[in-house]
Amino acid sequence: MTRVFIDGAAGTTGLEIHDRLAQRSEFELLTLPDNRRKDIAARREALNEADIAILCLPDDAAREAIALIDAASGTRVIDASSAYRTADGWTYGFPELVGEDVVANATRVSNPGCYPTGFLALVAPLVRGGLLPADWPYTVNAVSGYSGGGKALIERFEAAEAPAFRAYGYDLAHKHLPEMQTYAGLDHPVLFAPSVGSAFRGMIVEVPLHLGAMPNNPHSDQLRNALISFYDGSEVVTVQENRQVGELLLEPTAAPSDALKLSVFGNEGGWNARLVAQLDNLGKGASGAAVQNLNLMCGLPQTSGLRLSDA
Ligand SMILES: NC(=O)C1=CN([C@@H]2O[C@H](COP(=O)(O)OP(=O)(O)OC[C@H]3O[C@@H](n4cnc5c(N)ncnc54)[C@H](OP(=O)(O)O)[C@@H]3O)[C@@H](O)[C@H]2O)C=CC1
Ligand SMILES: CC(=O)N[C@@H](CCC(=O)OP(=O)(O)O)C(=O)O
C-alpha cells in the first residue's frame, strides 16, 4: 500500500484530495492532528515517512516542505503550488502533454495551474503541430469559480457583501504566465485577463484568435480536427465536434468534475476562432490532476477515482 501524506490537507485543494484518497484501498493516508498540521517537526516526520507527499500549500510553505524532505527518504512529491512549475529537476504534471510515462517515472511533479491547464490543452498541441505560430501575441480571457483563490477568496465570496464578479491581474504579471509560455513553446508571454464569478467551482478559459491575420491562415476546422486527433483515446480530455452553443455558463452549484472539455468555435469564413476550455478548477485544475498523477506514479490506471461522468 502506498503511504501518502497531504501537507495542507485542511485547505481547499487538500481536503478534496483527502476525501478521494480516503475511499481508495491502494493508499494509506498519513495524517496530522489539527493542532500539529503546521508544526515543522510533525510535518518533517510525515513528509519523510510518506512514499508520496502531495503539497497543497501556498508557494512559500511548499518550498519549506521540499527543504524538510531528506534525500535518503526517497519520498516522491506532487506539488499543487506554483513554486516549481518551470524549475529544473521538476516534471510538469500534465500527462497528456509531457507523456504519461514521464509523469509515471518522475520523483518531483509540479501540477499545472488551473488556468494554464485550459490554455495549454488548447494551444500547446496546435503550436507543436505547426498550426498556430509560436511567435503570435496570444491573449487569454478566463473566468474562474471563487474556490480557485482558496480559503481566503471563498470567505470573501461567501460573505454578506460579496462581489458579483471580480476582474484582476492588472499588473500583467500573473504567476501563471511563465508556465503558459514555457509549455506552449511561445516566443512571448501571453496577455492574460483572469476573473472570478460567483460560482464555487468551474472555469471557462478562452483564447480568441484572428486566424485570417496569421501567416499560415489556418481554418478553425483544421484546429478542431488537430485537437480531436491529439486527444484521441483520452478519457479526461474531450474535444467537442462542431459544437454550436449560444452561451456557456458557470453553474453556481456545479458538481465536481475531473473532465476537461475543449471546443473550437469558428465563424463562417474561418477568419476568426474562439478556442474554449471548460474545467473544474478543483478537478483537472488541481485535485483531479493530483489524483491522476498519483495514479500514474503508482502504476495504477490513471483515471482511477476520477469523476468523468460529464466528459
Ligand atoms: N484552489 C484552486 O483551485 C487551486 C489551487 N492551487 C494551488 O494549491 C495550493 C493550495 O491552494 P488552496 O487549497 O486553494 O489554498 P487554501 O488557502 O484553501 O489552503 C492552503 C492550506 O495550507 C495551509 N498552510 C498554510 N501554510 C502552511 C504551513 N506553513 N504548513 C502547513 N500548512 C499550511 C493553510 O492553513 P490554514 O487552514 O490554517 O489557512 C490551508 O489549510 C496553492 O499553492 C494554490 O495556488 C492550484 C490549482 C488550483
Ligand atoms: C481565482 C484565483 O484567484 N485563482 C488563482 C489561481 C489558482 C491556481 O491555479 O492556483 P495556482 O496559482 O497554484 O496555480 C489566482 O489567480 O492566483
Distance (Å) from CA 49 to ligand 1 centroid: 21
- C-alpha to C-alpha distance for 293 and 139, rounded to whole angstroms: 28
Query: Which phi and psi (to 5°) does residue 45 adopt?
Result: -65, -45
Note the residue count of the chain.
Answer: 311
How many other C-beta atoms lie within 10 A of the C-beta of residue 253?
Answer: 7
Q: What is the pLDDT of residues 100-153, one digit of tens each?
A: 999 999 999 999 999 999 999 999 999 999 999 999 999 999 999 999 999 999
In contact, 260 and 237? CB cutoff 8 Å: yes
Nearest atom of ligand 2 to the alpha carbon of 111: 14
Cβ–ligand 2 distance for 82 under 6 Å, the answer yes
What one-character-per-residue DSSP string does 24-71 give?
-TTEEEE---GGGTT-HHHHHHHHHH-SEEEE-S-HHHHHHHHHHS-G
DSSP 178-237: HHHHHHHT-SS--EEEEEEESSSS-EEEEEEEEGGGSTT---HHHHHHHHHHHTTT-SSE
Q: Which residues are catalytic?
A: 114
Nearest residue (CA) to ligand 1, atom 12: 150
The ligand whose atoms approach the alpha carbon of 154 most closely is 1
C-alpha cell at 286: 488541481
pLDDT of residue 176: 98
Instruction: Pick the residue whose CA is nearest to atom 26 on ligand 1.
Output: 61
Which CATH class for the 114-281 domain?
Answer: alpha beta
For residue 14, how far is its CA from the centre of ligand 1 (angstroms)? Answer: 7
Q: If you measure from the C-alpha of residue 68 to the centroid of ligand 1, how many angstroms do you get, rounded to a whole number?
A: 18
For 49-79, write each residue's pLDDT tens digit.
999 999 999 999 999 999 999 999 999 999 9
Q: What CATH number is given for 2-111+286-297 in this structure? A: 3.40.50.720
State whether the beta carbon of 91 lies less than 6 angstroms from ligand 1: no
Express each pLDDT in 159-183 by its tens digit. Answer: 999 999 999 999 999 999 999 999 9
Q: Does residue 311 register a pLDDT over 50?
A: no
- Asked whether 194 lines ligand 2 (CB < 6 A), one says yes
Task: Tell whether the model's pLDDT for residue 9 goes beyond 60.
Answer: yes
pTM: predicted TM-score of the whole model, two decimal places: 0.97
Say how far apart CA 169 and CA 114 lie, in whole Å: 15
C-alpha–C-alpha distance, residues 170 and 228, integer Å:
34
Residues 6+ apart with CB under 8 A from 101: none
Element (H, E) at 126: helix 114-128
Give the ligand at the shortest distance from the Cα of 58.
1
User: Is the separation of the CB atoms in 237 and 121 below 8 Å?
Assistant: yes
Residue carrying the nine cell digits 503511504: 3
Domain boundaries, the chain: 2-111+286-297, 114-281
310 grid coordinates: 460529464
What is the atom index within ligand 1 of the atom nearest the CA of 59?
Answer: 43
Cβ neighbors of 162 (< 8 A, separation 6 or more) are 156, 198
119, 177 contact by CB (below 8 A): no
- pLDDT of 302 > 60? The answer is yes
Test site for ligand 2: of 175, 201, 260, 280, most ligand atoms within 8 A of the Cβ: 175
Q: What is the pLDDT of residue 310?
A: 52
Considering only CA atoms, which residue is closest to atom 30 of ligand 1?
38
Q: ∠191-192-193 over CA atoms, to 5°?
A: 125
Using the mean position of ligand 1's atoms as its centre, give its distance from the Cα of residue 13 in Å.
Answer: 7
Say yes or no: CB of residue 175 within 6 Å of ligand 2: yes
* Complex-level ipTM: 0.97
287 lines ligand 1 (CB under 6 A): no
C-alpha cell at 22: 480516503
Q: Please, which pLDDT band fits residue 244 given cuts at 50, 70 and 90?
A: confident
Whether residue 190 has its Cβ less than 6 Å from ligand 2 = no
pLDDT at 15: 97
